[in-house]
Amino acid sequence: MGEICRKDLLGRNLSRMKKLFPKEYNIFPQTWVMPADYSDFQTFCRLKKHKTFISKPEASCQGRGISIFKNPKSIKPGEHCVVQQYISRPFLIDDFKFDLRVYVLVTSCDPLRVYIYRDGLGRFATIPYREPTHHNLEEACLHLTNYSINKNSQDFIRDDVCGSKRRLSTVNQWFSDNDYDTGKIWATVDDVIIKTLVAAHPVLRHNYRSCFPSHTHGSACFEILGFDILLDRKLKAWLLEVNHSPSFHTDSPLDKEVKEGLLSDTFHLLDLRATDRRRCMEEDKKRVQQRLLTRHRTKEENCREEEERVRSVLRSQAYEERHMGRFRRIYPVREREDDTYCRFFEQTSSLCAETAASKARMELARLQRQEIEEKAKEEERRKTTLGGRGERREKGEEMGEVQVEEQSRVRVAARRRVPFRLTSSKKTEQTAGAGESRKTEQPATAEETRETLEYEVIDEEEERERLAGLQVRERLVRNLDLPQTLSFLLASPRSPPPLPTSTLPLPRRHSSTHHCSHITQSTPQPLLSLHSKPFVTKSGPPFRCWQSSLDPLEAFGLVVTAAPVTSRHPPTHRP
Ligand code: ADP
């Protein structure tokens, strides 16, 4: 959310949108990001004299480093800061300037889903407001509404109804009591919030897709944002800033009520379940596999994934609608009603180098999505009309629809599964002799072979069987006294290791006149050549084993080279 949570980036994004839609994006005081916009700012000041400006650090908070000025020369040419036109006629309640802290929950950024919490904070200045003059520009408690600044003032009043910090519901009540149209006020606030998020949407969606390329179940992340809104004398809403980590500090019962409610409603609204962790791990596996097996995805695969994505979006949306608590959804407004914002989305996407081909692709994707949505809705309708299923559906909801679907998906996948580890499972059967209990596997068709390269859910039973097979094989290897044999082979003539008590006579080829010459512990490689043929003669030192204390099984991870033997020490074996 850096695109809107840093003051300079917010200024840049909203100024860009304002150039495209001057009327609609007049939601943010005119802003100059210094030093880049220095000359623009000076030109503006020459044309429009007697204006007041506010300068803020690019990425700061709590009113730190803010100054209000009238003289444009207060800004030096190379200075880094954000300068804004000062809204000198704010709406006042009881003569005090105030701003609204609105909590916004973004549950999904692809597609965008935005909720506003019905409660929030109204933060008031502690000195009655007067328009800026050269004499009062430095009075922070008159011009700034930050709690962190005003709480230190002796005029700060702690009162829920007429204090310096009030709940939004109290502020709304004040508007209603004074015959203002609260609905209209909040409609402009909603509009400001949606437009701001739309401006950041292309970057947000791009980042989301790069971080979660294969996430198809619901949204992979969420964010609570704190929007600071100022109302002017005409009750027009102006965006001051967006906080990506609004304070959850609660030093008064009022804070506690609002913020605790916000957090608990947020977790209630988000579809967080125990299965999510497992799902994420599965997705990670899938991603790694896809990266390893870089191959082009087929059209059907893309289509299937898109279909699953759309279904999941509809499911999440339905879930959120049932668990809204004190939230209300502001985007998407209602089905097909949100066309007012469509053109802003289109414009923002054009920033990412849109070509005629990409436009055509997007159009095609849109049609495809529409078709899938309709199909899903049709299916949903059919399901609801089937009487007997109603009950089961409700039960499903309790358990978590996603969980149920997940289980059935796994079951289906298990039923049509082709062996995931074809070679290893065959080996296991041969060595462990467990083949009888296993079903005869059909030869894999071309389609199935392709599917083996795809992600499959690992069947726990099969996995257990495979591990058991491996254990049996290890036992067999040990029973054949291979470790001791290897011990002997690797034994050094200088410091011969203790001979095994039950060493089998070595196979003939091993009692040849060649021995291992040196072992280097480097890249793990199997010791295959040891048994396959007498060691190849190489120039090098006579037989030495420098790692003879190693467990010979561990020697499978050693690189062995052979050399001619100059002195021979025939092994002594027990019969
Ligand atoms: P910070 O992140 O440091 O709190 P803000 O941008 O929120 O910075 O500004 C702090 C306060 O300054 C706001 O609460 C508001 O009262 C006042 N303020 C900021 N920008 C303007 C503006 N353009 N016009 C009028 N008042 C402003």
Instruction: Give 365 Cα–ligand 1 centroid separation in angstroms.
Output: 42
**Bridge-based pairing state of the strands 515-520 and 237-243:** unpaired
Helix (H, G, I), strand (E, B) or coil at 99: strand
pLDDT recorded at residue 59: 76
Asked if the peptide bond before residue 111 counts as cis, ω within 30 degrees of 0, the response is yes
Instruction: Give 143 Cα–ligand 1 centroid separation in angstroms.
Output: 8
For residues 69-97, give the mean pLDDT.
93
Helix (H, G, I), strand (E, B) or coil at 530: helix
User: Mind listing the pLDDT tens digit for each residue in 145-190?
Assistant: 999 999 989 999 998 888 999 999 999 999 999 999 999 999 999 9
Residue 80: name the closest of 56, 62, 63 by CA: 56
Q: Are 221 and 208 in contact (CB under 8 A)?
A: yes
- What distance in Å separates the CA atoms of residue 352 and residue 468, rounded to the nearest whole number? 54
User: Mind listing the pLDDT tens digit for each residue in 250-309?
Assistant: 888 999 999 999 999 999 998 777 556 777 777 777 777 776 766 666 777 778 777 877
Q: Is the CB of 245 under 6 A from ligand 1?
A: no
Residue with more model confidence, 492 or 342: 342
- What distance in Å separates the CA atoms of residue 305 and residue 470, rounded to the nearest whole number? 37
DSSP state of 101: E
pLDDT recorded at residue 260: 94
Q: How many CB atoms lie within 10 A of CB 254?
A: 18
Report residue 497's pLDDT band, with 50, 70 and 90 as the boundaries: very low
Question: Which of 230-239, 243-252, 429-438 is the least confident region?
Answer: 429-438
Instruction: Give 291 Cα–ligand 1 centroid separation in angstroms.
Output: 47
pLDDT recorded at residue 276: 67
Residue with more model confidence, 85 or 521: 85
Give the percent of the chain with pLDDT over 70: 65
Residue 509: name the closest of 527, 491, 536, 483 by CA: 536
Residue with more model confidence, 105 or 220: 105
- What distance in Å separates the CA atoms of residue 502 and residue 42, rounded to the nearest whole number? 95
Determine which residue's CA is closest to atom 8 belonging to ligand 1: 63
Sign of the Cα torsion 40, 46, 52, 56 reads positive
Pick left, alpha or beta for residue 277 (phi over 0 → left; psi -120 to 50 → alpha; otherwise beta): alpha
Site to probe by mutation for ligand 1, drawn from 54, 64, 92 as the one with most ligand atoms within 8 Å of Cβ, is: 54
Mean pLDDT rounded to a whole number for the chain: 74
Helix (H, G, I), strand (E, B) or coil at 226: strand
- What distance in Å separates the CA atoms of residue 499 and residue 501, rounded to the nearest whole number? 6
pLDDT recorded at residue 263: 94
Q: Are 266 and 121 in contact (CB under 8 A)?
A: no
Q: Is the CB of 126 under 6 A from ligand 1?
A: no
Q: Is the CB of 56 under 6 A from ligand 1?
A: yes
Residue with more model confidence, 225 or 356: 225
Report residue 212's pLDDT band, with 50, 70 and 90 as the boundaries: confident
For residues 536-562, give the mean pLDDT.
38
Minimum-distance ligand 1 atom for the alpha carbon of 64: 3
Site to probe by mutation for ligand 1, drawn from 144, 151, 233, 242 as the one with most ligand atoms within 8 Å of Cβ, is: 144
Burial of residue 218, with CB atoms counted within 10 A of its CB: 0-12 exposed, 13-18 middle, 19 or more buried: buried
- 32 alpha carbon, distance to own chain's centre: 32
Q: Are 136 and 130 in contact (CB under 8 A)?
A: yes
pLDDT recorded at residue 233: 95
Q: How many CB atoms lie within 10 A of CB 553?
A: 15
For residues 378-398, give the mean pLDDT.
60
Residue 131: name the closest of 84, 93, 97 by CA: 97
pLDDT recorded at residue 294: 61
The two most distant CA atoms of the chain are separated, in Å, by 110
For residues 16-35, give the mean pLDDT.
93
Position 493 pLDDT exceeds 50: yes
Residue with more model confidence, 245 or 494: 245
Cβ neighbors of 264 (< 8 A, separation 6 or more) are: 325
CA distances from 531 to 71, 173, 303, 469 (A): 90, 89, 52, 23
pLDDT recorded at residue 166: 95
Burial of residue 508, with CB atoms counted within 10 A of its CB: 0-12 exposed, 13-18 middle, 19 or more buried: exposed
The whole-model pTM stands at 0.62
Position 139 pLDDT exceeds 80: yes
pLDDT recorded at residue 127: 95
Residue 455: name the closest of 317, 262, 292 by CA: 292
Instruction: Give 283 Cα–ligand 1 centroid separation in angstroms.
Output: 43
**Bridge-based pairing state of the strands 121-124 and 112-117:** unpaired
Half-sphere exposure of 173 (CA within 13 A, CB side): 9
Strands (E) across 27-147 are located at 31-34, 53-56, 67-69, 81-85, 92-93, 96-109, 112-117, 121-124
The CA dihedral of 45, 46, 48, 53, to the nearest 10 degrees, is: 10
Q: What are phi and psi of 43, to 5 degrees?
A: -65, -45
Determine which residue's CA is closest to atom 21 belonging to ligand 1: 86
For residues 234-238, give the mean pLDDT.
96
Q: Is the CB of 8 under 6 A from ligand 1?
A: no
Give the percent of the chain with pLDDT over 90: 35
Minimum-distance ligand 1 atom for the alpha carbon of 63: 3
Q: Is the CB of 254 under 6 A from ligand 1?
A: no
Helices (H), 48-164: 140-143, 147-150
Minimum-distance ligand 1 atom for the alpha carbon of 97: 16
For residues 335-345, give the mean pLDDT.
71
Determine which residue's CA is closest to atom 15 belonging to ligand 1: 144
Instruction: Give 123 Cα–ligand 1 centroid separation in angstroms.
Output: 11
Helices and strands per DSSP (H, E), number in the chain: 19, 14
Position 25 pLDDT exceeds 50: yes
Half-sphere exposure of 453 (CA within 13 A, CB side): 13
User: Mind listing the pLDDT tens digit for each residue in 29-75?
Assistant: 999 999 999 999 999 999 988 899 999 998 778 888 899 999 999 99
